[in-house]
Amino acid sequence: MGWKLWSLKKSIWVFHVNTGACNNCDIEIVDLLTPKFDVERFGIKLVGSPRHADALLVTGVGTRQAAKRLQEVYRQTSKPCVVFCMGACACGTGIFEGAYHVAGPVDKIIKEVDPNAIIAYVPGCPPKPEAMISGVVKALSVL
């Protein structure tokens, strides 16, 4: 594989976006980045700006208010990048199916901006940190 793909797999910098989540998944993501689970050994680092990020960890069902903002954040992430939908709500609207404030699950919102986006799904309500790590590592191995 080329050097670009190797270095992307070995060093993934993540940025966390909340598009209307109940904060359960957000707490688990913040847990994930503490020293107990030590994701630094996979090269994963939390960055403060989407421009530095390679992976967007998106939680929450995409509300109408957050949909445009999520698309803007996706555009500002320098490609190549991966979008991880964390949690049942992000994967497919979860329990909010058909509600008045839902603008579609996260992959529908992202595909409006970029039909060729690379999207990975980590279901769970909320997914355990171990499940998130396993999801990220599996996604990286098939890139």
Partner 1 sequence: MEQQELESRLSQMEGKLIGTQQTKNNRIFLLCEAEKCSDVCRFLFEELSLRFVISTGIDADDCFEVLHHFSNDQTGCMVTVKAFIRDRTKPSIGSITPFVPAAEWIEREMHDVLGIDFENHPNMRRLILCDDWPEGVYPLRKDAKL
Partner 2 sequence: MGAFLEGKGKSKEMNTPWQNLFWILIFPGFLFTLVLGLLASWLVRKVSALVQWRVGPPFYQPLADVMKLLGKEILIPQDACRVVFIAAPLVGLSGVLLLAVVLWQTAITQTAFVGDIIVAIYLMVLPSLALILGSSASASPHAAIGTSREMKLVLSYELPMALAFVVVIIKTAAAVGIGRQLDMAAISQCAPVLSVSGLLAFLTALLCIQAKLGFVPFDIAESETEVAGGVIIEYSGALLAVWKIMQAMMLVVLPLFLVMVFLGGFGTTGWPLAWGVGKYVLVLVLIILIKNTNPRVRIDQAMRFFWFYCGTAMVAAVILATLGSCYGIDWL
In angstroms, what is the C-alpha Rg of the chain?
14
DSSP codes, 29-55: HHHHTSTTT-GGGGT-EE-SSGGG-SE
Contact pick of 51, 52, 64, 75 for partner 1 (by CB under 8 A): 64
- Binding-site string for partner 1 from residue 99 to residue 128, where x marks contact by CB under 8 A and - marks none: -xx---------------------------
CB-CB contact of 19 with 61 (8 Å) = yes
Closer to partner 2 at the Cβ: 10 or 108?
Answer: 10
DSSP 97: T
- By the criterion CB under 8 A, which residues form the site for partner 2? 3-4, 6-8, 10-11, 35-36, 38, 40-41, 43, 46-49, 51-52, 54, 76, 78-80
CB 12 within 8 A of CB 132: no
Binding residue for partner 1, selected from 59, 63, 77, 93, defined by CB under 8 A: 63
**Nearest distance from residue 94's CB to partner 2, in Å?**
28
